[in-house]
Amino acid sequence: MGRDKREVAAIFVGGAVGALLRVALIQTDAGAAPGWPWVTFSENVLGTFLLGYFATRLQERLPLSAYRRPLLGTGFCGAFTTFSTMQLELIKMLDVHRYGLAIAYAASSIFLGYGSVHLATLFVRRARTVT
């Protein structure tokens, strides 16, 4: 495949750290309480803001780097945020007929996730015009 070994190593390390942090935060959640999945929700919004920041900054501001984007973007942010757990949480809400909760959780995750990429992007681009 001819992949740069540093790129592969960076994704592995970023992914490992992202997963460890995500799981560590999940451990702080006492919760069998069938309510708002605060941990996944916060991780997804925060990780998405960071990806928006890194992706914009690394692509548009800093010189091309062989390992920063794979380490921070593909590795860390990709692994720190998660789609599969969110879907499982959604179908568990549907199981107990909490349709309003499921719709609110899905809609606010997408709205805030999308909004956080938008804000992070604006933030990086504004900084560029100032400096």
Partner 1 sequence: MSVGVWAGVGLLGGIGALLRFFLDGLIATRAGRDFPLGTFVINISGATILGLLVGLGFTGNRLLLAGTATLGSYTTFSTWMLESQRLVEDGELRIAGANMLVSLLVGAGAAALGRLIGTHL
Q: In terms of CB distance, is 24 or 33 closer to partner 1?
A: 24
Subset of residues 95 to 114 that bind partner 1, contact rule: CB under 8 A: 106, 109-110, 113-114
Subset of residues 1 to 20 that bind partner 1, contact rule: CB under 8 A: 1, 8, 11-20
Q: Is 50 in the site for partner 1 (CB under 8 A)?
A: yes
CA pseudo-torsion sign 87, 55, 7, 16: negative
Query: What mask of x and - would describe binding to partner 1 in positions 63 to 102, judged by CB under 8 A?
Result: -------x---xx-xxxxxxxxxxxx-xx--x--------
Cβ atoms within 10 A of the Cβ of 55, count? 19
| Cβ atoms of 110 and 45 closer than 8 Å | no
The nearest distance, CB 87 to partner 1, in angstroms, is 4
Binding site for partner 1 (CB under 8 A): 1, 8, 11-20, 22-23, 26-27, 44, 47-48, 50-52, 55, 70, 74-75, 77-88, 90-91, 94, 106, 109-110, 113-114, 116-118, 121
